[in-house]
């Protein structure tokens, strides 16, 4: 078990020194979705490179900033730049943004990501509400980080996302007339994309979309008692569902194409939560 408060004490102290207010809601922006940070009123931006020992994001579409912003009377912490396990970081580093958000004052969090369609009826450009997660590949690492030793504790920290937050995301989609898919998000370790055989297996286990992030943050947030919701932008077909070769550039291009729908959905969700 790692004492996160001790390990990241200097980062938290520096953020406390600079933050202009105590935020209510944290929004973590996935690959290609970072433009959302420019669509709300920014009060203060902190470059993660200025924070002591903050892990550097090496992935295209993940700028390293913490934005203290406002929208519709709500105080936000917008995290632009995710830390992925496949970049070589340990699990305590991957969940650092959530730890920062919690220590800054956030008790609600919206996690977004880019994901590949495992369900063949989900097309690139779709938005999917993550109703369920499967992060079995990472659960033991998270359990050790959190000091979880009993089955009861484990079942509790896997009980995500929050139904009330997801209900508000559905309500926001209805009000904005945005078609919102719903399904199970499956996490893999990366950095390579999955094989067609792996995708067939994930589908048999109920997966609708697959990605390489989000679940460590979701489980950690749930363990802290934060209420959370999660939205995936379906940016490509997973391996075996299309003849097109998988590439990160396709992820970025598709996210760019649907960013206006994404922006409207997230803004309306903020109003409701």
Partnered with residue 74 across adjacent β-strands are 71
CA pair distance 82, 254, nearest whole angstrom:
19
pLDDT at 266 over 80: yes
pLDDT band at 56; cut points 50, 70, 90: confident
Mean pLDDT to the nearest integer, 143-171:
80
> Which phi and psi (to 5°) does residue 200 adopt?
-60, -40
Mean pLDDT to the nearest integer, 184-206:
90
What's the pTM?
0.91
Assigned CATH for 4-272: 3.40.50.1580
- pLDDT one-digit tens code per residue, 11-26: 999 999 999 999 999 9
Q: To 5 degrees, how large is the angle CA 233–CA 235–CA 237? A: 125
Q: So what's the pLDDT on residue 160? A: 74
Mean pLDDT to the nearest integer, 89-110:
95
Q: So what's the pLDDT on residue 248? A: 64
CA pair distance 133, 177, nearest whole angstrom:
26
- pLDDT one-digit tens code per residue, 132-155: 999 888 888 888 887 777 777 666
How many of the other CB atoms lie within 10 Å of CB of 226? 21
Q: So what's the pLDDT on residue 250? A: 66
pLDDT at 78 over 80: yes
The ranges assigned to domains in the chain are: 4-272
pLDDT at 244 over 60: yes
Mean pLDDT to the nearest integer, 58-82:
87
Mean pLDDT to the nearest integer, 194-207:
92
Q: What is the largest CA-CA distance in the chain?
A: 52
Mean pLDDT to the nearest integer, 158-177:
91
Mean pLDDT to the nearest integer, 224-228:
93
β-pairing verdict for 127-134 and 227-237? antiparallel
CA pair distance 42, 70, nearest whole angstrom:
7
């Amino acid at each position: 078990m790692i004492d996160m408060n001790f390990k990241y004490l200097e980062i938290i102290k520096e953020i406390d020194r600079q933050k202009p207010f105590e935020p209510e809601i944290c929004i973590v922006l996935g690959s290609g979705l970072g433009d959302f940070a420019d669509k709300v009123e920014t009060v203060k931006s902190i470059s993660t490179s200025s924070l002591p020992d903050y892990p550097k994001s090496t992935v295209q579409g993940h700028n390293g900033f913490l934005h203290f912003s406002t929208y519709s009377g709500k105080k936000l912490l917008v995290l632009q730049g995710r830390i992925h396990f496949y970049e070589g970081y340990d699990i305590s580093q991957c969940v650092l943004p959530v730890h920062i958000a919690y220590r800054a004052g956030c008790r609600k969090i919206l996690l977004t990501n880019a994901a590949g369609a495992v369900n063949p009826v989900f097309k690139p450009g779709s938005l999917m509400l993550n109703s369920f997660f499967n992060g079995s590949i990472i659960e033991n690492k998270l359990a050790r980080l959190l000091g979880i030793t009993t089955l009861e504790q484990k079942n509790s920290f896997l009980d995500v996302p929050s139904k009330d937050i997801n209900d508000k995301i559905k309500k926001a989609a209805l009000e904005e007339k945005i078609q919102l898919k719903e399904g199970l998000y499956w996490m893999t370790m990366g950095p390579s994309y999955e094989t067609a055989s792996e995708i067939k297996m994930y589908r048999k286990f109920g997966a609708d979309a697959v990605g390489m992030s989000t679940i460590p943050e979701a489980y950690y947030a749930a363990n802290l008692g934060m209420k959370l919701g999660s939205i995936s932008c379906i940016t490509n077909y997973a391996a075996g569902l299309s003849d097109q070769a998988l590439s990160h550039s396709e992820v970025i291009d598709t996210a760019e194409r649907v960013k206006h729908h994404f922006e409207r959905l997230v803004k309306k969700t903020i109003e409701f939560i």
